[in-house]
Structure 1
Amino acid sequence: MKPIYAKPPLGSRAAFQVRKDYFDMLDTKWHYHTEYELAYINYPHGKRIAGNSIATFEGGDLVFYGPNLPHAWLHEPMVGTEEGAAYNAGLSHSAIVVHFSESCLGESFFAIPEMSAIQAILKKSTRGLVIYGEARKRISQWMTKLADDTGSRRVILLLQILEELSTTKEHDLLSSAGYWDNLNDHDAMRMSSIYEYILQNFTKEIALDDMAMQAHISPSAFCRYFKARTKRTLKEFINDLRINYACQLLEENRHSITQICFEVGFNNISNFNRRFKEIKGITPQQYRINIVGVHHNNIK
């Protein structure tokens, strides 16, 4: 699943691009681009990959990605449901996607003092943001209008959305800091191969020699190269992926914590608990209790 560099086809007179796509089954290529991306995916249940984050979503997905962060969406069947017919009824689902550059409204527009809060959220978006709650509801409605409007109204709506993003607390960071940072074209191709291999094998034991072979360099050179690009060791990076995947499984609440431990690639429960707490700040059991509590409060 090598990421594709995707250049949004901006019109010659457009400051930024807005498009609405219709589809049956959610399945986008893993890709990246130099523009910022706002995406509202109107889909009942799917999987989102953003940098080193892997998670499922329900009832639609709203994200804000900074430049060069690889991402994709995939269909994820809901366990215990008969859903085949729902995804064979024509182009019944949609996505609204906005691409813009930091200079789309002028080279220094976002650098003026009045834009300082928006500049901060643009910087934050390099890790990817998922938006939820009332903020998601408001922004998705504005994005629907954005897809239909023309002229100056589009600019006003884009700024309104960015203003909302800069003030709301209803968002979470997705990928780790420093992921996929400052890569040239050669680095991007090499890191694509490395990440593709890790993503396909992170729940199994990954040998350093195999990773070095993917990069066509020696094991010692690979360790230096990988840490320089990702700001973490290979082991730390793989543990991030495993723990993020464990969070998804804990939220689904279908397996015991011991089962999840082995499913995500750890070979003993004590190491799993220790790594989980290092990365998330709480134990897997506490994480599950917190998630169950949130779901219970939402039902009330």
Structure 2
Amino acid sequence: MKALQFTLPVTYDKSVIVQEEQLPHFYPYLHRHNEAQLTWIQEGEGTLVAGTSMHSFSAGDIFLLGANQPHLFKSNPEYFSTDSSKQVRSMMVFFNPHGKLSSLFELPEMQVLRSFIQQYSGGFKLPAKYVKTMSQKIQDVQQTQGFNRFMQFFQLLKSLYTINGKLVPLSITPVENVSESEGIRISTIYNYIMQHYDTMITLEDVAAEAHMTPQAFCRYFKKHTGHTFVTFLNGMRINEACKKLTAGKCESISAVAYTSGFNSITNFNRVFKSVIGNSPREYLESYRSNF
């Protein structure tokens, strides 16, 4: 199991790093790093875990993840199939506002951008209407080097700042500074839940994975995530159910319920409405009416 703290393989002569990925699936472990990360998903779909929040992602999405914010782009299960021809592609811009760039962000003229980055330390998702413009600006950063890259990067930040009020926050939970050993344990718990959400997973199962008693695990999980285990598990299952509903991957709503880990359609409908605000059928009808 990988530790939560993750060190980027970067060179010391750059303060803004652009990384491109083309892989069978995204890195499958919850992790964090000192750098903030602006990610443009060019190909692939799945679930983004940002802090203690979950969001679906697909091609065209752009996300900012704050410095030291625990995160995971969890590719859908079909990406891990041995005979899968699927792949993911992304372009990421990394920068550390508290590292080499810190003295620059402390300048009086940079106060608005410094406040903007602090405001979204929990990350954000870019509204779809701005993706075309911002993806081009990310490419502008990628295609330049040296001083020109530096200037293109700040143009990118300035453009993001101008649409500040329309950005969608990913998580409002403060980033918690945890030790490496705590990071390993939290990562183990998250990954176990995400790999077994569609089975009859129990509190005892997850507690055993974390080498804790069920009572101690409940206290620990609530402290570090702000959620109870059942609330988090249900959120994961409903997030997956929404993707299946809108993708038309199941023959019926009841099939979605059972393949998402629920053993009762009644319970599924109740939990779905408590999380989403609408019944599964209403959610699906609303989605279809927008296309």
TM-score range (shorter-chain normalised) is 0.7 to 0.9
Counterpart CA distance in 2 for 1:177 and 1:266 is: 28
Aligned counterpart, 2:270: 274
Q: Is the 8 A contact 1:56 1:248 kept in 2?
A: no
Find the partner of 2:285 among 260, 283, 289. Answer: 289
Aligned counterpart, 1:263: 259
The offset of 1:143, in angstroms, is 1.0
**Mapping of residues 191-270 of structure 1, within 5 Å:** 191-255=186-250, 256-270=252-266
Q: Secondary structure of 1:32's partner? A: coil
Aligned counterpart, 1:20: 20
Q: Is the 8 A contact 2:41 2:58 kept in 1?
A: no
The offset of 1:140, in angstroms, is 0.8
Distance 1:77 1:210, change over 3 A: closer
Counterpart CA distance in 2 for 1:250 and 1:172 is: 23
Counterpart residue type for residue 74 of structure 1: S
Counterpart residue type for residue 39 of structure 2: A
The offset of 1:240, in angstroms, is 0.9
Aligned counterpart, 1:69: 70
Report percent identity of matched pairs. 28
Counterpart residue type for residue 10 of structure 2: L
Counterpart CA distance in 2 for 1:251 and 1:3 is: 34
Q: Is the 8 A contact 1:226 1:233 kept in 2?
A: yes
Counterpart CA distance in 1 for 2:69 and 2:124 is: 14
Aligned counterpart, 2:182: 187
Aligned counterpart, 1:55: 56
Distance 1:74 1:212, change over 3 A: closer
The offset of 1:48, in angstroms, is 4.0
Counterpart residue type for residue 73 of structure 2: A
The offset of 1:243, in angstroms, is 1.1
Q: Is the 8 A contact 1:204 1:265 kept in 2?
A: yes
Counterpart CA distance in 2 for 1:209 and 1:131 is: 38
The offset of 1:194, in angstroms, is 1.0
The offset of 1:265, in angstroms, is 1.4
Number of matched pairs: 280
Write the deviation string for residues 61-92 of structure 1: whole angstroms up to 9, x where unpaired.
322112232213537769xxxx95x87xxxxx
Q: Secondary structure of 1:183's partner? A: coil
Distance 1:221 1:124, change over 3 A: same
Question: Where do 5+ consecutive residues of structure 1 fail to align?
Answer: 88-92
State the TM-score, normalizing by the size of structure 1: 0.79
Counterpart CA distance in 2 for 1:262 and 1:228 is: 30
Counterpart CA distance in 1 for 2:160 and 2:127 is: 11
Write the deviation string for residues 84-139 of structure 1: whole angstroms up to 9, x where unpaired.
5x87xxxxx8532111112242247269586446634544352x433242311111
Deviation larger for 244-253 or 278-287: 278-287
Counterpart CA distance in 2 for 1:219 and 1:109 is: 45
Deviation larger for 139-148 or 268-277: 268-277
Write the deviation string for residues 238-284 of structure 1: whole angstroms up to 9, x where unpaired.
01101111111121134322221222112222322222222222222
Counterpart CA distance in 2 for 1:199 and 1:287 is: 23
Counterpart residue type for residue 109 of structure 1: F
Aligned counterpart, 1:90: none
Counterpart CA distance in 1 for 2:263 and 2:253 is: 13
Counterpart CA distance in 1 for 2:238 and 2:209 is: 24
Question: Where do 5+ consecutive residues of structure 2 fail to align?
Answer: none
**Mapping of residues 89-238 of structure 1, within 5 Å:** 94-103=89-98, 104-107=100-103, 109=105, 115-116=111-112, 119-120=115-116, 122-126=118-122, 128-168=123-163, 171-174=167-170, 177-178=172-173, 181-238=176-233
